[in-house]
Chains A and B, each alone.
Chain A
Amino acid sequence: MLRPFELRRPATLPELGAILGEHRDAAALYAGGSELLVLMKEGLVRPRVLIDVKRVAGLGEIAAADGTLRIGAAVTHRTVERSPVVHAHCPLVAEAARFVANVRVRSVGTVGGNLAFADPHSDLATLYLLFDARVALWSGAGGERELPLADFVRGPYETARRDDEVLTEVRLHPLPPGAAGAYLKFGVHERPTLGVAAALSLDPARRRVAAARLAVGCIGARPQRLAGLERGLVGAPVEALAAARVDAGAEGLDAITDLHGSADYKLEMAQVFVRRALRLAAARGMRQDIDARYAHTVAV
């Protein structure tokens, strides 16, 4: 059961900006509603005005240009999953979309809604970090500003979005040619306990790591890249990936004890899945098939 609200459906960003400017935190931005409507039914969030962003021109588009894949905030997971453009530029993103929640959530849930809600156990942001994602925020007063997704997500349910801003799109930077990626998520609950994304570029002989990207999410307050390990892996022989180890202290990697498990367990799982993701990415980089089926794990 929902409490009454006024539904506004702007068609343009300036219209949206005006409504948002007027109502600020009494308004809630609404796209698929898969998270918001649940909180509203519980009575935890009671916006006076619901601003439907789905009709705003441009927010439902996917486009690739100048080495950037742009996914509009109102694009559904379902659309991402089926998008030839996403498949062409960030295949991992398209494949992972198939494993967001369930088919009904994917039908209505949007990329922007997911990122802006910043549920710590929602794993889209983790994967997107692998692509050096940046988000575009727009406000009537200030126009657009862009910031790294890593800075946008501040903590559980908290982002850098101001009351008068709307997330308009996320910009992903496809992996360099020849790089291979993998994404693993693990857990028995409805939402993942852990997500790990890895990408590797190998040297021409495919023996050593030329570049590495790693992101971990869901275990702590916010997803993050593992910059230290990324640097440390450069030049490492492929066989050494099996022994890769995250220096959690140096990386500032933290974990929260919650219903999904204890912090120490989650940190250890981060180690396990970093190794697994690296191994899978390396195998893909070497055009090898390996068995990446693990219990309670989605591997894409």
Chain B
Amino acid sequence: MRPAGPFRVVGRSVRRLDAIDKVTGRARYLTDLSVPGMLHATLLRSPHAHARIRSIDVASARATPGVHAVVSSGDFGWCDPYHGPAFRDRPLLAIEVARYEGEPVAAVLAEDPEAGARALERIEVDYEPLPAVTTLDEALAPGAPLVHSREPQAGHFADLSSLRPVPGTNVCHQFHWERGRGAAGFDDADLTVEDRYTFPRVQHYSMEPHAALAAWDAEGGLVVWASTQNPYSVRVELARMFGVPLGRIRVIVPLLGGGFGGKTYAKLEPITSALARLAGRPVRLAISAEEAFRTVRRCDARVRVRLGLRRDGRIWAAECVADFDVGAYADIGPRIVQKGIYTATGPYRIPHVALHSQAVYTNTTPGGAFRGFGVPQLAWAFESLLDDAARRLDRDPVELRRQNLLAHGEEFAPGDTPIDGKFEESLGRAAEAIRWTQAAAADRGRGVAMMMKASVAPTVSEAIVRLHADGSVTVLASTVEMGQGARTVLAQIAAEVLAVPIERVSVAGPDTAITPYDQTTSSSRSTTMMGRAVQEAAEDVRQQLLRIAAGRIDAPLAELTLHDGHVRGRGAQLAYPDLLVERFGMGGGELIGRGIVAPGRSAAPLGGSTPFWEMAVGAATVRVDEETGAVTIDEYVSVADVGQRINPQQCEGQDEGAVMQGLGHTLLEEMVYDGGQLLNPNLVDYRVPRASDLPARLRCLFVENGDGAGPFGAKGVGEGSLIPVSPAVGNALARLTGVRFRELPLTPERVWRALRARRREGPA
């Protein structure tokens, strides 16, 4: 399967294309941009979790010097003020009702941010507080106050028939899927274990908070510079809201200071564009870190898992029931609950499976995509319970997993892509690296966990590759550079196919007026999907070069090869510039190649077959300070099956970052609410991992069998290694202490309480 190597550029840790810009301060992010005549927008946010807006008095605010306009929802009669990828449930500014603390209710446009802030304080809003539901329990209680009372409207990326809200409740979507005999499979199980787990609300904390800059031209065209992971989704939203043809909207994305899913789908772009239209001037909206906490977060979840096993260790039946709290607006929540539950049962062969998940509205910051997309919540539960099952069967947890692993090529779900990697090899590597079979020191515990995740499907990526007259290359791709190094990888792919040095390849940044369609930079899909599109586009150029050369060299195409900027064959060699002169009859013109990857819909349960399976294993060695409950991660090993690393250093960087981010929600991070009030929307009180949280040993290993669906046998990386972190740590702690943890994060106090309870009850 592995394409004949060796590769020249692929598989090498070439320097990031943007590295020099980033270490010299030249890299430009959204808030580094400005345009002449630009106004600054600031948002007034609701202090209430749920309130009716009786009136908004903007007179005094409007009179503030330096203020251009003060805007509330009543000013948006000229457009469709609602947006959202699943449901169009989110207004530009709160209409009649504010549904979470921090929801924007009014906006000030000012010549400078200071004037905006002064005016913001002068807006008088008369609120009538309404009963709020701020937890899953409250939201699902019979007769609970409703976050949304109006009929849902399908969003821009979903038809309503696929969405299943439950009228009269806070449930905005439900998903069920069964395999084999579903829950009836438990009848034949010899051992049944069941437990409940919760996963906290956590914040992406991209170092760069969201921002957008919008400008309309005199002909009604719109340009938006956006810190978004998917400019084309943003474009569709804007086109629908403002009734503008797609071709008249230009979304340009500079470098992103981190994304992690928090910058998928429209966030600030709709309000910024609407404000710019009202003002007749360009508008920039750059929110603070504190406001980012009020923009999007990971969905918290509670999960019930039941596992049935046969005496011989076969996992026989599994049932997972998950409630995801999507906050006040659905965002992409309905897809998260589907995707998260879909692979809840992990990389195991289980004949009978019943899965149920639902997305639930609450009066809190909207939940959205976050690295792992619903899978971390489920893996935390399933992988924890699987260890308990192993203990009950007196089986080694690694061995029990190994016995049940799906094999390469095996079907996971009818109609979906067969397993495209080797879980066994990954598990073996992880167990070996953590010295699983050797006894741990008395004060250490070891744990493992696995995960598999589908990428988004159906899906589309298109790319253009241009070979210029001097033999240099430009890749046009709408993949967003948010730190993951995608642009470097795409350049490597083009350089590999076209046999040019990487320094000769540029990658044009996302601009919907220039770079072709790409669905999204998320779901670990860019290397695979855009990578293939770029590979195909470069291949298109290569074929053109060969055809031109064939005319000169007088050889069949099959005898021609590309080497270092030349086409070679039959002892002759022709440089690309010469071939272009040959083609165009002069020193001008360029070759353009096009690549399209669009696998389309399928009969798979989620409507499309995953382009690849993301596969990862985590293994942790932990210690605990019994007196304080503080957990230390001594060692962490992550193994990801990536088919082929295009850029090994970047793969490592992705996984090291993923593990640390995973340790964040495992040990430290949680957005704390009191009623509807978020108590810690800042880094003093919300603790993200810092350098001192690095495990003493952190190793990220890779399984490479060249069997990925992407270019050169590669496939996606980046989300997978985050997912096993919490169950690996939880399992290690359970083996060390005998206490099973079901709630995250594992703060010292939480661990201390559990250990104290164990001491009271005696040994487990």
Contacts and interface: CB of A to CB of B under 8 A. Distances in A.
Interface of A: 1, 3, 43, 186, 188-191, 259, 261-262, 265, 268-269, 272, 294-297
Contacts of B630: 186, 188, 294-297
Interface string B83-119: 0000000000000000000000000000001100110
Contacts of A186: 628, 630
Interface stretch (B407-415, B524-532, B583-591, B681-689): B681-689
B628 A188 contact: no
B625 A190 contact: no
A272 B628 contact: yes
Contacts of A188: 630, 667-668, 687, 747-748
A261 to B, nearest CB: 5
Contact of A1 (B114, B684, B687, B748): B114
A295 B687 contact: no
Contact of B749 (A265, A294, A295): A265
B542 interface: no
B679 interface: yes
Interface residues of B, number: 27
Interface in B618-659: 623-625, 627-628, 630-632
A43 B680 contact: no
Given A259-B680, A265-B752, A295 B685 contact: no
B390 interface: no
Nearest 6 CB-CB pairings of A with B: A295-B630, A295-B632, A272-B627, A261-B749, A265-B749, A296-B630
Interface string B661-689: 00000011000100000011001110100
Contact of B753 (A190, A265, A272, A296): A265
B571 to A, nearest CB: 64
Nearest to B688: A190
Nearest to B752: A265
Nearest to B684: A190
A1 B668 contact: no
Interface of B: 113-114, 117-118, 121, 623-625, 627-628, 630-632, 667-668, 672, 679-680, 683-685, 687, 747-749, 752-753
A296 B623 CA distance: 12
Contacts of B679: 259
17 contacts: A1-B113, A186-B628, A186-B630, A188-B667, A188-B748, A189-B685, A189-B687, A190-B685, A190-B687, A261-B748, A265-B749, A269-B628, A272-B628, A294-B628, A295-B625, A295-B630, A296-B748
Given A43-B121, A188-B747, A265-B749, A294 B625 contact: yes
Given A294-B625, A297-B630, 19 more contacts: A1-B113, A1-B114, A1-B117, A3-B117, A43-B121, A186-B628, A188-B668, A188-B747, A188-B748, A189-B685, A190-B684, A190-B685, A261-B749, A268-B752, A269-B628, A272-B627, A295-B624, A295-B625, A295-B628
Residue of A261, A269, A272, A296 most packed against chain B (CB within 10 A): A296
B531 to A, nearest CB: 39
A169 to B, nearest CB: 28
Contact of B685 (A1, A259, A297): A259
A265 B628 CA distance: 9
Given A261-B749, A262-B749, A265-B749, A190 B628 contact: no
A296 B680 CA distance: 20
Contacts of B748: 188, 261, 295-296
Nearest to A193: B748
A277 B685 CA distance: 26
B660 to A, nearest CB: 15
Contacts of A191: 684
Nearest to B625: A295
Contacts of A262: 749
A211 to B, nearest CB: 26
Contacts of B117: 1, 3, 43
Contacts of B114: 1, 3
A284 to B, nearest CB: 21
Contact of B623 (A43, A261, A268, A295): A295
B261 to A, nearest CB: 25
A206 B672 CA distance: 48
Nearest to B685: A259
Contacts of B672: 259
Contacts of B684: 189-191
Nearest to A4: B114
Contacts of B687: 188-190
A188 B686 CA distance: 10
Contacts of B747: 188, 261
A35 to B, nearest CB: 11
A43 B117 CA distance: 10
B669 to A, nearest CB: 10
Contacts of B631: 295
Nearest to B629: A265
Nearest to B120: A43
Which of B628, B630, B684, B749 has the most chain A CB atoms closer than 10 A to its own CB?
Answer: B628
Nearest to B674: A259
A276 to B, nearest CB: 8
A205 B680 CA distance: 51
A269 B752 CA distance: 10
Contacts of A1: 113-114, 117
A186 B623 CA distance: 17
Contacts of B683: 190
Among the interface residues A191, A259, A272, which one has the most CB atoms of the partner chain B within 10 A? A259
Nearest to A191: B684
Nearest to A296: B630
A68 B627 CA distance: 37
B400 to A, nearest CB: 30
A261 B672 CA distance: 12
B743 to A, nearest CB: 15
Contacts of B752: 265, 268
A259 B685 CA distance: 7
A82 to B, nearest CB: 22
A289 B630 CA distance: 23
Contacts of B632: 295
A248 B748 CA distance: 21
Contacts of A265: 749, 752-753
A297 B632 CA distance: 11
A265 B752 CA distance: 8
A265 B749 CA distance: 7
Contacts of B113: 1
A269 B631 CA distance: 15
A61 to B, nearest CB: 31
Contacts of B118: 3
Contacts of A190: 683-685, 687
A189 B687 CA distance: 6
A191 B684 CA distance: 7
A4 B367 CA distance: 37
A59 B628 CA distance: 40
Nearest to B631: A295
Nearest to B290: A42
B286 to A, nearest CB: 11
Contacts of B628: 186, 269, 272, 294-297
